[in-house]
Amino acid sequence: MKDFQGKVAVITGGASGFGREFANVGARLGMRLVLADVQDDALNQAKKELEALGAQVLAMRCDVRHGADVQALADAAMEKFGAVHLVFNNAGVGSGGLIWENTQADWEWVLGVNLWGVIHGVRIFTPLMLECARRDSSYQGHIVNTASMAGLLNPPTMGVYNVSKHAVVSLSESLYQDLKLVDAPIGASVLCPYFVPTGISQSERNRPDDVKGEGGMTASQRASQALTEKAVSSGKVSAAQVADMTFDAIREALFYIFSHPKALGNVQRRMEDILTQRNPGDPYETAPHIRDMLKEKLKAG
């Protein structure tokens, strides 16, 4: 997909972080925008600012955990714009701690947003886009699913998040293969950012009441939160840069999008562990200070 002018982009988690930056790029390219988020104030502000730039914007509250919400988003996009060309299944949340300390509510929340949000986006928007292609012989589309480097690695105290993002990588690779199988004029990509300042470390601010945790945070959850906040806030690559990388990848029909290619050395070591049947290595082998910080915080309680 190379021509963006006048095309329609649907962005979940569109009010902040990567989603907002995708919208900014889309607006500059003359796209019509459909923004979905659960944070009303940020969503309304994003709509106002993007319209001031001249973009046509449909903004809807949408909890991607629920298929009915995503279906309503698709219906509204089609009613307003008549087609969908680019879908960013981007909404995401973070939660950490030792994996046995995560509650059922933690699992339901993180998998609900990070995995089921992508599942709903793929199962609802892909048939819609295929129908758009049947009606228009010149149609080109693309789907971008936001995963993470945690979808290729398994760092400690990030188990729930790791599981959700590994599943998104698998889902995205399957989507790519299935689209190729039917010769669809629709591309697919998976975005795997590393530590980028996006606000995900403050995910708890938008945690719905039906999946609220009971009691306070454990020592491991506090340690994981502190590590994430420090790593994210010190990130040298911005969300805006990642958005530009992502649109470049869409133009070039590239599947894997990495914000920090140098981190792929850790992925290579993991693959070598599997191929040589070694026990899993230390994900922080090249950054032992992070592992040491985690250990110290766990001891401190």
Give the span between the Cα atoms of 147 and 149, in whole angstroms: 7
The angle formed by the CA atoms of residues 244, 245 and 247, to the nearest 5 degrees, is 65
Residue 49 buriedness (CB in 10 A; 0-12 / 13-18 / 19+): middle
Taking the CA atoms of the chain, what radius of gyration do you get in angstroms? 19
Give the span between the Cα atoms of 149 and 159, in whole angstroms: 13
Helices (H), 29-111: 40-52, 67-81, 104-110
Let me know if 161 is a catalytic residue.
yes
Q: Which of 161, 176, 194, 256 is catalytic?
A: 161
Residue 77 near residue 84, CB atoms below 8 Å: yes
Residue 285 near residue 265, CB atoms below 8 Å: no
Residue 128 near residue 265, CB atoms below 8 Å: no
As annotated, the active-site residues are 161
